[in-house]
Amino acid sequence: NRDVLPPVRGRQYELGAKYLVNRRLLLTASLFDIRESNVAVYDTMVDGEALYRSADVRHRGLELEATGQITDRWQLKGGLALLDPKVTNDPEHPVNNGETRPWLPRTTASLYTSYDFVGSITLGGGMRYVGSVKTYDRSSSPTPAIAAYTLFDASIGYTHDRWRLQLNL
């Protein structure tokens, strides 16, 4: 009805741990549960304008990360995130209750490494994985999911005093 939606309200619980294995390896882990009400979810298109409605959602997940220094000049970082995003209450479309929220990947992962050469030059590279993404809920017309994909990154940097110039590709 084109009314302004009420503000989002939320509550978050998180339990995490960090463990420094030695001076060269840091491990972190986190479990979380986020509950939000009045979240804007897509409703319909009217005269080319996207309209939204309010719903309650819950995001539960796990994040793991490792950061290590293989040598004094070589660093490595990897991470994994698992997400379970659910609609908990959609009053206008109860058929969506319990459904996975669209537009959010359930799995993401990354791995990145960099090496500092003598002469203030740093080279780096890595990858980021994003799992497939659902693009609709039960109250809308089915559309194909976005397939999982992997991005590859590279960087070159130069450090001088307190300044750093870096190109990322």
Q: Of the candidates 120, 130, 132, 134, which has an alpha carbon nearest to the alpha carbon of residue 166?
A: 120
- Helix H, strand E, coil C: the string for the chain is CCCCCCCCEEEEEEEEEEEEEECCEEEEEEEEEEEEEEEEEEEEEECCEEEEEEEEEEEEEEEEEEEEECCCCEEEEEEEEEEEEEEEECCCCHHHCCCECCCCCCEEEEEEEEEEECCCEEEEEEEEEECCECCCCCCCCCCCCECCEEEEEEEEEEEECCEEEEEEC
The pLDDT score that the predictor gives to residue 92 is 86
CA–CA gap between residue 18 and residue 66 (Å, rounded):
10
Give me the residue spans of the domains in the chain. 10-168
CA–CA gap between residue 124 and residue 111 (Å, rounded):
11
**Per-residue pLDDT reduced to its tens digit, 19-42:** 999 989 999 999 999 999 999 888
The pLDDT score that the predictor gives to residue 139 is 62
Cβ-contact 158, 167 below 8 angstroms = no
**Residue in the block written with tokens 């978050």:** 12
Which residues have a Cβ under 8 Å from the Cβ of 3 and sit 6 or more positions away?
none
Reported residue count of the chain is 169
The pLDDT score that the predictor gives to residue 100 is 87
The pLDDT score that the predictor gives to residue 71 is 94
In the chain, which residues have pLDDT < 50? none
